[in-house]
């Protein structure tokens, strides 16, 4: 039986700040992930040993964080053939029921204080956390809602909510969670989110936004790459989760591929805040990028445009591209995968009408 990580809203870390010289006491979730992940690395369960990755910040206003991770490009499992955003789960293909049980770190169980019978905690689904054996950064793990139920790679309210709660349970502003839909470089059609640590600040944490429906926490990103943003602090998680799920369900029904990125971030605003607000990381920013679908597409030699690349974190597969790629090159590559401006504007209007009908 795997280790259980029981938590409640009382465990959320409500006052995280990003500032130099700020030594954070790891929260219980951070300690549990990091200790288990390091143990599995020491025991040789990964496809390669991940040391300190060579990292540089690309010159330019976007502050893209480039990292050289050659082994991930060489050693990771070959992605499955994806033909549709709504592709059904196929038990014959690789899925997370086929992993080595030693790769499991723990199960997350939310203690709501309700529904206890005989000392057992009940919830609609269990979240299994396991190591990603082809890690892109320290602590890279996968959040898999009850693997035995064989959900395809389509977001559910439960998956979104636990993703947000995981960020709130961490005291580290560098802990990130993300999701790639089918057609958006998801490599396994079995519902999962990624979680990992990246100590470098990303612009997505503080980039200005345009309000769309503020009472639902719905905004438009004003900076490149264009997408939508949601924001929540600990008290509004369920409400914002419902809204995000309405959006992702709409995208799936419209066969629009998408990536999500969840990170500690500033409260949303239309201009740069004062220094105190700029450093605040009390809440979670959830970026949603609708994008052009890639089915059976040839992979880019430098990097694939998925959840972390859209957020400004660029794991490069080869040294030449890592050393020579400029901010302008990155923008050119990413731009090819984004919805054209007019198409994005139409989608924005559709989503606003869809959400106002609630």
The Cα–Cα gap between 127 and 192 comes to 10
* Cα–Cα distance for residue pair 216/350, rounded to 1 Å: 15
Nearest-Å Rg of the Cα atoms of the chain is: 19
Query: How far is residue 330's CA from residue 309's CA, in Å, rounded to a whole number?
Result: 9
Cβ neighbors of 35 (< 8 A, separation 6 or more) are none
Angle CA 325–292–127, to nearest 5: 90
Q: DSSP alpha helices (H): ranges in 210-335? A: 237-253, 275-279, 307-310, 319-324, 327-335
Question: Are 204 and 222 contacting, i.e. CB atoms less than 8 angstroms apart?
Answer: no
Alpha carbon distance 40, 134 (integer Å): 12
Does the active-site annotation cover 192? yes
Sheet hosting strand 54-57, strand order edge to edge: 54-57, 65-68, 313-316
Decide: residue 232, CB within 10 A, 0-12 exposed, 13-18 middle, 19+ buried: buried
Q: Of 62, 140, 190, 192, which is the active-site residue? A: 192
Residue 334: CB atoms within 10 A of its CB come to 20
Cross-strand partners of 220 = 210, 228
Which residues are part of the catalytic machinery?
192
């Amino acid at each position: 039986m795997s280790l259980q990580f029981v938590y409640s809203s009382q465990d959320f870390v409500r006052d995280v700040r990003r500032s130099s010289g700020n030594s954070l006491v790891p929260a219980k979730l951070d300690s549990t992930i990091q200790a288990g992940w390091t143990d599995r690395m020491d025991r040789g369960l990964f496809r390669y040993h991940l040391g300190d990755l060579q990292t540089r910040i690309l010159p330019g206003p976007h502050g893209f964080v480039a990292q050289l991770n050659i082994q991930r490009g060489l050693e990771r499992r070959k992605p499955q053939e994806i033909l549709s955003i709504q592709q059904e789960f196929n038990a014959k293909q690789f899925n997370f029921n086929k992993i080595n049980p030693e790769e499991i770190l723990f199960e997350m169980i939310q203690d709501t204080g309700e529904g206890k019978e005989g000392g057992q905690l009940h919830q609609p689904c269990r979240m299994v956390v396991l190591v990603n054996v082809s890690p892109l950064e320290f602590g890279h793990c996968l959040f898999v809602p009850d693997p035995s139920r064989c959900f395809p790679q389509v977001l559910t309210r439960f998956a979104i909510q636990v993703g947000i709660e995981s960020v709130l349970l961490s005291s580290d502003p560098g802990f990130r969670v993300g999701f790639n839909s089918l057609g958006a470089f998801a490599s396994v059609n079995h519902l999962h989110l990624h979680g990992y640590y990246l100590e470098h600040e990303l612009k997505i944490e503080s980039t200005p936004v345009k309000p769309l429906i503020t009472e639902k926490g719905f905004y438009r990103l004003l900076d490149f790459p264009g997408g939508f943003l949601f924001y929540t602090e600990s008290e509004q998680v369920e409400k914002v989760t419902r809204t995000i799920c309405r959006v992702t369900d709409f995208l799936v029904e419209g066969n629009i591929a998408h990536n999500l990125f969840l990170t500690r971030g500033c409260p949303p605003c239309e201009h740069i805040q004062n220094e105190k607000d700029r450093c605040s990381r009390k809440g979670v920013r959830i970026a949603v990028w609708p994008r052009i679908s890639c089915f059976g597409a040839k992979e880019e030699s430098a990097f694939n445009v998925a959840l972390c690349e859209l957020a400004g974190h660029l794991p490069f597969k080869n040294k030449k591209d890592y050393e020579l790629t400029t901010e302008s090159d990155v923008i050119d590559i990413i731009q090819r995968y984004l919805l054209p401006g007019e198409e994005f504007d139409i989608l924005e209007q559709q989503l606003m009408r869809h959400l106002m009908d609630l």
